[in-house]
Chain A
Amino acid sequence: MRTRREVLQGLIVSIGGATALTACGGVANVLSTQPGMAPRFYTSIEYALITRISDLIIPRTETPGAVDVNVPGYLDGLMTEWANSETKNIHRTALAQIKAELDKRARGNFLDASDSVAEQSLAAFDAAAFAENADASGYKRVKGYVSQSYFATEIGATEELKWVAVPGRWDPRVEI
């Protein structure tokens, strides 16, 4: 089976484009922290927390979930490689607030809670965060990181969102 890159190269040639085949060749450096490795930015508790809430926000269904595609490692890389000290502090503060809020809702350490308690706790917290006039920018930003990272993975983009590299045509009206 041909890889996506090989398919793309063939397409460029077949429709007359003459260039940029080697541009397909260089896969960007992978900066994610790989599963099983110690996190570079997060403390062990923070890493456990981001892993747990990533899994609850985007679980495995018929398609892989956030943890399956290493969203926590991706975020550890994002905070290590991309974020400046201000962003790191904001993120760290947000995680502490989220942890405190979820501990309260789980009546104990959220990270030790059963699946159902953890899910109920986060669901209630999430609903409150998205209620009108709620002040939950820290959580919303964390949720945004999780979501954007998941859908930027190959599985998230292609299996969930049906992203295609080369649409080849414009259809302004597709009935759902």
Chain B
Amino acid sequence: MTDFDAIVIGSGMSGGMSAKELTERGLKVLVLERGPEIVPERDYVDNLAPWESPNLDNVAQDEIAEHYPKQYGGVAYAIKESNKHFWVKDDEHPYEEAEGTSYDWLRGYHTGGRSIMWSRQVYRLSNLDFNANKTDGYGIDWPIRYEELEPWYEKVETFIGIAGSAEGLPQLPDSVFQPAFELTDVEKALKAKVETTFPERNIIAARIAHLTDATDEQRSLGRSNCQVRNRCHFGCSFKAYFSSLNATLPAAERTGNLTMVHNAIVSSIEYDAETNRVTGVRVTDAETNEKRLYTSKVIFLNASTIASAMILLQSKSEAFPTGLVNRSDQVGRNLMDHVSGAGAVGMMSGFDNQKVFGRRPSGGIYIPRYGNLNGQDKPYLRGFGFQGGSRPLGNAGGQIAGIGRDFKEAHKNPGPWRVNISAFGEQLPNPENRVTLHGSKRDRWGNPLALFHVTYSDNEHTMLAEASKDAVAMLEAAGCTNITANDVSLTKPGNRIHEMGSARMGRDPASSVLNSWCQAHDVPNLFITDGSFMTSSACQNPSLTYMAFSARAAHFAADLIADGTL
């Protein structure tokens, strides 16, 4: 007899979806969250007005140096005085980087994980992506194709809510959409000129997980339409953007089948060699250091790509001396992210008689991948997309000439329009890019620190150099002026916060950790549905794909429990 039918380790993007689907199938589920509870009524700070936060809502500089050097260095735009409690303190949660390498591990430990701080762009993968490894030989072949995943994309999209527009692009399949945020006239002009000059390129509305026409199901969870405040990094009292905390966890909760335990840091997963099953999860209470063991029939590992790999590596036994389900030696390897650091900014004239109303969240436009769509036609493998947008420049930074009444009143003018686009490129899988357990350093709970060794290949450098040229060419084609493109400088690995690949899926147990159901080859009642399973990174923001695989795996596991297999 086990304590629960299933244990889900991690309450973020994928853990929340796993918990929702498992509980809705009638299973008793325990969700373990290593951080404290976030209570929206208490901890969201989205309703603070600008004048209600001290110091322009900036975190004190000495405090950044002491507690947030990595986090702030990676996402300064998102960490403010009022919401700093959503981010880990680096001195409390340190990690190590191999000599000569650098890694941004950017995160928060609390209910919902990073799903409450994400940037909410959601795009499906296509068979261009599922075929990629097989086509060019980097990595191993995905054991699945788009058609098998499509109904699961539809299922999770219908639940989470996505604002976007149907475009019929084969490399970026349409989702189930609620109305998109309309492009500005500047973006429409950009679109028209770019698509005329470069017929293979498209400019579409960014697809974002915001409600614009909430369904009855979404309203029943207390969610409502986006109020266009762009306060998403502070939580959302309207629950308009998708997060575990706003949607999947409440859905799981209302089944009556969910138990959540916070401050539960997993030290290892228990394995029984006789039955070849994982049997339970050992945790340390973050506050009291109390050790506990929870047991279940199946375990879903959703601790996030890096933490999940570390938990497996920490779970050593006679049967698995190098870490649980690591007979392939692939756990922790093939660590990928997306890569940015190329783009362009320009001014667009002719629209000075226009401004906008509302503060549109998460950018405005997306330029789907256009390179290497039909065979190899670029000097790099795979491809990249651009995120971007346009807005009146405004004058609120005080950086315009003049003093007195004229200066004061100039701030009422929206100013000229600026366009920006920034590349997000695919990173090739490479087994030497990996996270391992540090040999001697441990955290305050006695668990080994993560040690990162991740570098970029020539392909990422070549790709971003081409992206920079393409960005300038597109803004030139659109008639922009004052175009600037900084020298290409690749973002640190991890900086895009799309880490994935540390327990990849594949057909052969000798070279992969999971099968196409996110089920461990070596142990049939262990599932991993966070970014760990990704066999390649594609260039699309990956959270939607994690959730689609999570839902699919949860139903597969529930079927196996129902028929007595597990």
Contact = CB atoms under 8 A, between A and B. Distances in A.
Interface of A: 4-5, 8, 12, 15-24, 27-31, 56-59, 61, 65, 77-78, 81-84, 86-87, 119, 122-123, 126-127, 129-130, 140, 143-149, 151-154, 157, 160-163, 165-176
Nearest to B58: A82
Interface string B214-253: 1000010011110111000001011100000000000000
Contacts of A169: 228, 357-358
Contact of A20 (B47, B53, B355): B47
Contacts of B52: 27-28
Given A8-B47, A157-B49, A31 B411 contact: no
The 10 residue pairs across chains A and B that have the minimum distance between CB atoms = A147-B398, A20-B237, A18-B222, A130-B401, A84-B61, A167-B358, A171-B357, A82-B55, A170-B358, A19-B40
Contact of B405 (A59, A153, A173): A59
Contact of A82 (B61, B353, B357): B61
Contact of A23 (B237, B239, B356): B237
B560 interface: no
B61 A161 contact: no
Contacts of A12: 237-238
Given A16-B222, A22-B42, A174-B354, 12 more contacts: A8-B47, A12-B238, A22-B41, A23-B47, A31-B54, A82-B61, A119-B403, A143-B398, A143-B399, A148-B397, A152-B50, A170-B360
Interface of B: 40-56, 58, 60-62, 65, 82, 181-185, 187, 214, 219, 222-225, 227-229, 235, 237-239, 352-360, 396-405, 407-409, 411-412, 414
Q: Please indicate which of the listed interface residues B40, B42, B52 has the most CB atoms of chain A within 10 Å of its own CB.
A: B52
A17 B403 contact: no
B401 A59 contact: no
A20 B40 contact: yes
Contacts of A172: 181-185, 187, 356, 360
A168 B360 CA distance: 10
Given A8-B47, A144-B397, A172-B356, A82 B408 contact: no
Contact of B54 (A21, A81, A127, A166): A81
B412 A161 contact: yes
Contacts of A165: 47, 49, 229
A173 B184 contact: yes
Q: Please indicate which of the listed interface residues A17, A29, A130 has the most CB atoms of chain B within 10 Å of its own CB.
A: A17
A5 B407 CA distance: 31
B55 A171 contact: no
Nearest to A56: B403
A171 to B, nearest CB: 4
Given A15-B224, A17-B238, A161 B411 contact: yes
A3 to B, nearest CB: 11
Contacts of A174: 354-357
18 contacts: A4-B49, A5-B47, A17-B222, A17-B239, A20-B41, A20-B46, A20-B237, A82-B60, A123-B402, A126-B401, A160-B411, A165-B229, A167-B229, A167-B357, A170-B182, A172-B187, A173-B354, A176-B355
B237 A167 contact: no
A56 to B, nearest CB: 5
Contacts of B412: 160-162
A57 B404 CA distance: 5
A25 B399 CA distance: 34
A126 B402 contact: yes
Contacts of B56: 78, 82, 148-149, 152
B403 A126 contact: yes
A65 B404 CA distance: 10
A63 to B, nearest CB: 8
Nearest to B361: A170
A151 B414 contact: no
B53 A28 contact: yes
Nearest to B45: A23
B116 to A, nearest CB: 12
B47 A119 contact: no
